[in-house]
Amino acid sequence: MKFFIDTASLKDIQEAQDLGVLDGVTTNPSLMAKEGIGGDENVKKHYQAICEIVDGDVSAEVISTDFEGIVREGEELVKLDDQIVVKVPMIKDGIKAIKYFSERGIRTNCTLVFSAGQALLAAKAGATYVSPFIGRLDDISTDGLQLIQDIRLIYDNYGFTTEILAASVRHPMHILECAKIGADVMTGPLSAILALLKHPLTDNGLAKFLADHAKVNG
Ligand code: E4P
């Protein structure tokens, strides 16, 4: 299972990279705004800075919602670095653009996916990744993990190679459940990744080992 971090914070990306378990980064316009990154040039420079920190795929989202605009933006974004994956919203022109990109070897991440039907369409268009937002489904009392399970079944039935990128991950149990179901990738905040480390018995056990060691070693 690949671990992506869902942030535009260079500090958090560096911390996850230093941990040695990071496979990539996903961003979106809200995450860029949260870091105060605005203006075309600044946005591009920021993506390049992210690509310098990580070795893996970096999803950069288009703002356009029409086919021509999505294609123009996507072609600009992929020129920045080989690691860039064009993140395209699940809308009619987005699907057309994903098909266009896939025919030209440009990798895509189809975002804002909330149903299995949308995921099927994204795979048929040739998306590299599909991003079902499990946390946002949970927020409206709908089972986000069930969606991951349904997409896994559909993709396996037909051998679709589109990778299931479980997005809108909020906590460590989301990561674990996605791993059990067989999501190819998860993207979440640094807090969810670091929470996997934690167990009170680990902390207690380590404290006792160190105390016992100190007793006989001064
Ligand atoms: C996906 O790539 C999105 O950036 C992200 O996972 C959305 O998460 P949120 O629902 O926590 O905003």
Enzyme catalytic residues: 87
Say what the pLDDT of residue 170 is. 96
Which of 67, 61, 50 has the alpha carbon at shortest distance from 8? 50
If you average pLDDT over residues 66-83, what whole number do you get?
Answer: 98
Q: Is 187 in the pocket of ligand 1 (CB under 6 A)?
A: yes
Q: Could you tell me the pTM of the whole model?
A: 0.96
Dist. CA 122 → ligand 1 center (Å)? 18
> pLDDT, tens digit, for every residue of 111-160?
999 999 999 999 999 999 999 999 999 999 999 999 999 999 999 999 99
Q: Is 136 in the pocket of ligand 1 (CB under 6 A)?
A: yes
Dist. CA 6 → ligand 1 center (Å)? 7
Nearest C-alpha to atom 5 of ligand 1 is from which residue? 168
Nearest C-alpha to atom 10 of ligand 1 is from which residue? 168
Q: Which residues pair with 110 in a beta bridge?
A: 88, 130
User: Quick one: how far is CA 171 from the chain centroid?
Assistant: 14
C-alpha to C-alpha distance for 24 and 3, rounded to whole angstroms: 7
Say what the pLDDT of residue 86 is. 98
Candidate of 3, 9, 28 to mutate for ligand 1, largest count of ligand atoms within 8 Å of Cβ: 28
Three-state DSSP state, 11: helix
Token code pair at residue 69 = 């605009």
Nearest C-alpha to atom 12 of ligand 1 is from which residue? 168
- Work out which ligand 1 atom sits closest to the CA atom of 30: 12
Q: Is 162 in the pocket of ligand 1 (CB under 6 A)?
A: no
Whether 189 and 26 have beta carbons less than 8 Å apart is answered as no
Cβ neighbors of 204 (< 8 A, separation 6 or more) are none
Token code pair at residue 118 = 């949308």
Dist. CA 55 → ligand 1 center (Å)? 21
Taking 90 as the threshold, does the pLDDT of residue 218 lie above it?
no
Which stretches of the chain are DSSP H helices? 10-19, 29-34, 40-53, 67-80, 92-103, 116-125, 134-139, 144-158, 172-181, 190-195, 200-217
> pLDDT, tens digit, for every residue of 157-196?
999 999 999 999 999 999 999 999 999 999 999 999 999 9
- Work out which ligand 1 atom sits closest to the CA atom of 31: 4
